[in-house]
């Protein structure tokens, strides 16, 4: 008996639910939409459509990948961030909604202060730098230690029409940088090394380890970037960090100890500390 869209979805949702995938229903529908190249509306209209053997085989492969713990975004090869579409793959961290708070904070500051140039440290998919270039008049440099991430970010910049506004550089933080900027923006690795093994399997087993590991206390990159930042910021330049929910006071103190002024902690929509900013004296 051949499978219909409806019966295939029922099978997939049951398998994914049993595999403890929280978004099992949505994931199954997204995979079917990808295989059939149809919209969500068309999906629900076509529930009685019979699937060919090749269509069901392709769908089954995606579902089984997800049930093994591979993130949906990696399976689909893309995700949305700041209303833009980004390619994602195992070279890059999957952009989170929380990071939009960092970008929105930076955009507000750029517009207020007339920020012209920025550097994004640890760009990954390029979502931060590309969003800033797309929604402000600023141009930037985006660095990452991973060549695979840099190549992915370049493709994303081209796809989102900002290739000419961002220079992508393979660099460990500021190592290969020799210019100054009006702003530094970073969502650095901030998870404590010994906590990583306890993360959800989707994250722990699939996302790049060097994009997660913030050292023994999770603060290694905040110290490193803050210590070097003054050499790469123009006068009155700003720094913007995304942080873990329990790192606000510690990162604030790091910036204060490095001589930054106007240091602020900004909360996310859940009321948790999410961003720390400061200004070079």
| 84-93, 207-216, 228-237, range with the lowest pLDDT | 207-216
Residues 128-137: tens digit of each pLDDT: 999 999 999 9
Please tell me the distance from the alpha carbon of residue 205 to that of residue 196, in angstroms, as a whole number: 10
pLDDT top residue among 241 and 211: 241
Q: Give the chain's domains with CATH numbers.
A: 5-68 (1.10.8), 93-280 (3.40.50.150)
The secondary structure of 88-139 as a DSSP string is --TTSPPP-TTHHHHHHHHHHHHHHHT--EEEEES-TTSHHHHHHHHHSS-E
- Structure confidence at residue 1 (pLDDT): 54
- Structure confidence at residue 53 (pLDDT): 94
| 170 pLDDT higher than 80 | yes
Annotated binding-site residue numbers for S-adenosyl-L-methionine = 122-126, 144, 187
Annotated binding-site residue numbers for substrate = 187-190
Residue whose structure tokens are 């910021």: 233
- Structure confidence at residue 209 (pLDDT): 81
Predicted model pTM: 0.93
Percentage of residues of the chain with pLDDT beyond 70: 100
pLDDT top residue among 270 and 207: 270
Radius of gyration of the chain, Cα coordinates, nearest whole angstrom: 21
Q: What average pLDDT does range 66-82 have in this prediction?
A: 96
Contact at 8 Å (CB) between 48 and 75? no
Strand partners of residue 1: none
Annotated binding-site residue numbers = 122-126, 144, 187-190
Residues 143-167: tens digit of each pLDDT: 999 999 999 999 999 999 999 999 9
| 57 pLDDT higher than 70 | yes
If one counts every other C-beta atom within 10 angstroms of the C-beta of residue 264, the result is 13
């Amino acid at each position: 008996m051949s499978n219909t869209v409806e019966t295939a979805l029922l099978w997939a949702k049951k398998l994914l639910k049993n595999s403890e995938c929280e978004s099992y229903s949505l994931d199954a529908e997204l995979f079917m939409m990808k295989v059939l190249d149809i919209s969500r509306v068309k999906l629900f209209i076509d529930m009685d459509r019979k699937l060919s053997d090749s269509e069901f085989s392709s769908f089954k492969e995606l579902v089984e990948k997800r049930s093994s713990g591979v993130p949906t975004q990696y399976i689909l090869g893309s995700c949305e961030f700041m209303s833009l579409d980004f390619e994602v793959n195992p070279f890059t961290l999957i952009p989170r909604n929380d990071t939009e708070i960092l970008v929105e904070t930076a955009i507000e500051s750029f517009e207020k202060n007339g920020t012209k140039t920025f550097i994004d440290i640890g760009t990954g998919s390029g979502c931060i730098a590309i969003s800033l270039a797309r929604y402000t008049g600023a141009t930037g440099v985006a660095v990452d230690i991973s060549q695979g991430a840099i190549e992915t970010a370049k493709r994303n910049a081209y796809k989102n029409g900002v290739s000419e506004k961002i220079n992508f550089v393979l660099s460990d933080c500021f190592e290969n940088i020799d210019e100054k900027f009006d702003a530094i923006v970073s969502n650095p690795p901030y998870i404590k090394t010994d906590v990583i093994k306890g993360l959800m399997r989707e994250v722990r087993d699939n996302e790049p380890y060097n994009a997660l590991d913030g050292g023994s206390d999770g603060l290694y990159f905040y110290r490193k970037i803050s210590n070097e930042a003054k050499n790469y910021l123009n006068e009155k330049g700003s720094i913007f960090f995304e942080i873990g929910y329990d790192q606000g006071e510690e990162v604030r103190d790091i910036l204060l100890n490095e001589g930054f002024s106007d240091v602020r902690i900004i909360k996310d929509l859940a009321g948790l500390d999410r961003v720390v900013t400061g200004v070079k004296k």
